Chains A and B, each alone.
Chain A
Amino acid sequence: MLEALARGYHYGFDIMDATDLPSGTVYPILRRLEREGMVTSEWEAEGVAQSEQRPPRRYYELTGAGEQAFEQTAQRYRAAGAIAPRPGRAWRPARQGRG
């Protein structure tokens, strides 16, 4: 999840697409990360949503603490991966920024 956010996936459904996790898993994790201060959320700009004739979405972003946590976790996984290598994840391109 942290990696997905770091790679620029900012919306619940997009993160689901990127991670292949079901919505029932993604959202509670997002809520928890937000509660622990690793993620902040904001509502999408009205204009963008209006231009696509849909309501504005909630936008999630890593905080400094979140980025730090991601780095630490990534390092831990890299170390673990060095011992027992496993196939890396192929990330699909994310839509950058907030619209």
Chain B
Amino acid sequence: MFEARDPFAVRLSLALLRAIRALVPANIRQDWLREWEAEIRHRWSAVNRRGRARWQDHADVVRRSTGAVSDAAWLRQQFTADHDLTRDVRYALRMIRRRAVVSALAVGLLAIGIGGTVAVFSVVDTLLLRELPYRDSERIATIWLTDRQHPEEREGVAPGAFLDWHDRSKSFSHIAAAAPASFDYFDGAEPATLVGASVTEGFFEALGVQPILGRLFLAREHTVFPPGVAIISHGTWHRVFGGDPIISGRKVVFDGQSGEIVGVLPGWFHPTILGRLRDEEIWVPGTLKNPEFANRRTRYWGVVARLAPGVDMDSAQAELSIISEQLSKEYPNTLGAMTATVVPLRDHLAGPIRAPLPVLFGAVVLVLLLGCANVASLLLARACDRQREFAIRTAIGASRWRLIRQMLVESLVLSMLASSAGLILARFAIDLFVATATATVPQLSELALDRRLIVFAIATAASTAILVGLWPAIRLSRPGVRAALNEGAIATTAGPARKRLVSVLVVSEVALALVILVTAGLLIRSFVTLIRVDPGFDQSNVAVLQVFAYGDRYRTNEQRLAFFDDVLARMRAVPGVEKAGIVTAMPFMPANINIQGGFRVEGRPAPPEREQPVASLTLASPDYFPAMRMTLRSGRLFTSNDHAQAPQVAIINDLLAERFWPAASPIDQRITVNWQGRWRTMQVVGVVGRLRHDGLDSDPRPEVFIPFAQLPYGSMTFVVRTATDAASLVPILRSQVWAVDPTLALYQISTVEALVAQTLAPRRFLTSLVGLLAGLAFLLAVIGIYGIVSFATAQRTREIGVRVVVGGSARDILTLVFAESAKRVAAGVLLGLSGALAATRLVAALLYEVSPTDPLTLGVMTVVLTCVALLACYWPARRATRIDPLSALKAE
């Protein structure tokens, strides 16, 4: 205690002692403090007795009290060195070192499980658990115009439908739409296209985002066209404008129009509302007086809304469903089959990764469980090796808890080592996720190994330790079992407890491995089926360059024709180019210009308005078809004779031909199509094979090809077939466009192979990951089964020796040992199959043309696993037949 008359030095010393006291082991803490305090006080009274204290005396007291730190630290060290827990940890480390290979294997297996779990959890955390940066994000909804039959297919919203929702709904404080737009930006170097959106009033307010620089749009800016202002993304600000801090208010020229940048949005803002592969880079204000609002057919806008106070998602959905019913009646031919689907922003952002996440998480948990089973068997083997030690320790008074604790500490040390290694693995896995999945789910760019994940890893490790350590510990420390273990030297057969443990481990390893193998098998089969799908054209060596030729230079048809003819002629002259054509709707292109229009066959009665058939109308130049190597089923392709003045002709695809001329030939038939509001009649001159436009798993669409020369258009894609690698010719092809118009921006430049790969990326990602995990699981299970059966057989050495002595043949021994293991494997297979049937239901939605109960996959995986598992059991059984009875009996 301090006393008022104590000088500062004494008070300081005493305070120091009290602070240091915490270091001292609790049982001697009081004595320790008393001793030091007494020394300080004694010293001070001696100083006082001598006369007036000098400053040196003050300093001396403080200096002496600092020695208490070393004293306390020494005591702590002694205490911990003697402490049971420390001893257990040291002992555990020694055991791990002694069986270095086995331990490394166990740690490695567990690390893979923990690392995988942490990595996948990081995705779950980012996409589903973590607070979104959007203000009150749980009140933000995205709204989609979906087919009543397929509400999960969310393409977009027809502008007219948005306007109807906007005018009629009362559930939202803000409801706004984004229309895709792009702007050519030319600052004297190469022209660039900025992908963006024209957004109606309240778009940013609905999403709850504030600019980091400048401001949002003003109400009056949504009433003028063309817009004079723009807001840019964080990325554009850095990439195009070099992070200029006074960007707000800067005058720029987009698409030949002068405008002003008024704001910059934060870096996390990726609403991906238009479902494009490229993130939006620029936003401009849109008006509600757009002629597009008459369009209730083409679903290409995105709609976001913020719930009004007191309204929840369900009631908003209910209101929109009622509005949709009304709209269906009012516009039966466009909105007849359509409804509005409300999707919370979080679900929308999780996007295509959301569905496979549970599968992926399930797979890593299975691997983790397998890792656990292996570590458990390792610990079991070790515990059995130490049965005598346990017996002796019990005899000299160790409590059951003491033994359990020791085993728990061992498994804890193992799993902590594994979790450290697992975190390193998770780090790599997260980098891999970011690299591969960010393109499809921009939110994943926020993935990082943070404190939450480290806590998660440690928690996983700790629960793993308890899972794998506690059970064998409890079983083996049971008094009855201990007694049996004590008799280990005399006992001839394995005790029932140990047998049960071995059974549980083998059965669970087989079952877990089978579940993940079947799942991976289905995914792989589905993926292989998918990549074998014929898209209707030859994907190799095709370069594509998309342009939007509008503006003053492309006002007339002649101007457009002249431009494209000129560029095509230049491209054909490039060495290595075989064919060069142009088309509006290029398969696999993110901006697939799918122009739909009504379709009639001349001479047949016109169907009622609401049953009016619709076809995709695609403009193409003659060389497009050979450049794509499409199949000509009948008739002819376009030629240069199908020019503007020639009779109007069309090529249809075989899907359309089968639908309208199931028995006859469509060649020379006359059809009428509604091209942008005007009915045009044309003669069918050819039939080509069907194309898949939106992905290998998408359905082909009925398509009518019209010669570009007869309907020149601005949104075109150059399709160039090359003799060699298409990617290498891209720069020179690009320069051919700029040779004709140096200010025209290229919206998308790629090869078809890259575009196809991009559409397959999420599936490829999931399949390869689950496949990898399944491979690991398989390996884990085989190693595990081999380990357990070897252990169980080794435990029976004496029994086998006795059997041999009393006349058992090698065959008998083999049958005895192998039959037991085979029974366990069979039980595991049965359990695994039922587990797999339940688990594959989860992946059903992710499969393409493969049933979740696909007998081939189930059969092959079961047979492969069974054979390898039996082989893993056979080996130890075979070794058992070579046991020398004499040495077996002597051994103990």
Contacts and interface: CB of A to CB of B under 8 A. Distances in A.
A23 B74 contact: no
Contacts of B67: 22-27
Contact of A58 (B38, B64, B68): B38
A11 B71 contact: no
Nearest to A26: B67
A26 B71 CA distance: 8
Nearest to B44: A54
B41 A31 contact: no
Number of chain A interface residues as a range = 20 to 34
A16 interface: yes
A28 B71 contact: yes
Nearest to B1: A55
Nearest to B40: A13
Contact of B70 (A24, A54, A55, A58): A24
Interface in A1-38: 11-13, 16, 22-28, 31, 35
B35 A12 contact: yes
B70 A13 contact: no
B39 interface: yes
B97 interface: no
Given A16-B64, A24-B67, A55-B37, A31 B75 contact: yes
A11 to B, nearest CB: 7
B78 A54 contact: no
A44 B39 CA distance: 12
Contact of A54 (B41, B63, B64, B71): B41
Interface string B57-83: 000000111111111001100100000
A96 interface: no
Given A16-B64, A25-B70, A31 B78 contact: yes
B40 to A, nearest CB: 8
Interface in B24-66: 31, 34-35, 37-39, 41-43, 45, 63-66
A25 B74 CA distance: 10
A27 B70 contact: yes
Contacts of B43: 13
By CB atoms of chain B within 10 A, which of A25, A35, A54 has the most? A54
A57 B71 contact: no
B42 A11 contact: yes
Contacts of B45: 52-54
Contacts of A57: 35, 38-39, 42
Contacts of A49: 38
B71 A13 contact: no
A52 B42 contact: yes
A56 interface: yes
B433 to A, nearest CB: 52
A24 B69 contact: yes
Contact of B34 (A24, A35, A55): A55
Interface in B689-709: none
A31 B64 contact: no
A11 B46 CA distance: 14
Contacts of B31: 58
Interface in B851-882: none
Contacts of A44: 38
A23 B73 CA distance: 13
B420 to A, nearest CB: 33
Nearest to B37: A55
Contacts of B38: 44, 49, 54-58
A87 to B, nearest CB: 26
Contacts of A55: 34, 37-38, 41
Contact of A28 (B34, B37, B63, B74): B74
A81 B34 CA distance: 40
Contacts of B35: 12, 57-58
Interface string B109-121: 0000000000000
Contacts of B63: 22-23
A89 B650 CA distance: 118
Contacts of B41: 54-55
A51 B97 CA distance: 60
B658 to A, nearest CB: 95
B42 A31 contact: no
A24 B66 contact: yes
B638 to A, nearest CB: 96
A34 B572 CA distance: 98
Contacts of A16: 64
Contacts of B68: 23-24, 27
Interface in A61-93: none
A48 B576 CA distance: 109
B555 to A, nearest CB: 92
A49 B39 CA distance: 11
B522 to A, nearest CB: 67
Nearest to A29: B74
A31 B69 CA distance: 14
Contacts of B64: 13, 16, 22-23
Nearest to B65: A23
A93 B71 CA distance: 26
A97 B31 CA distance: 22
Interface of A: 11-13, 16, 22-28, 31, 35, 44, 49, 52-58
12 contacts: A13-B42, A23-B68, A24-B66, A24-B71, A27-B71, A28-B71, A28-B75, A44-B38, A54-B41, A54-B42, A55-B37, A58-B35
4 residue pairs, one from A and one from B, having the closest CB atoms? A23-B67, A24-B70, A24-B67, A27-B71
Given A22-B67, A23-B65, A49-B38, 10 more contacts: A12-B35, A16-B64, A23-B66, A24-B71, A26-B67, A52-B45, A53-B45, A54-B45, A55-B34, A58-B31
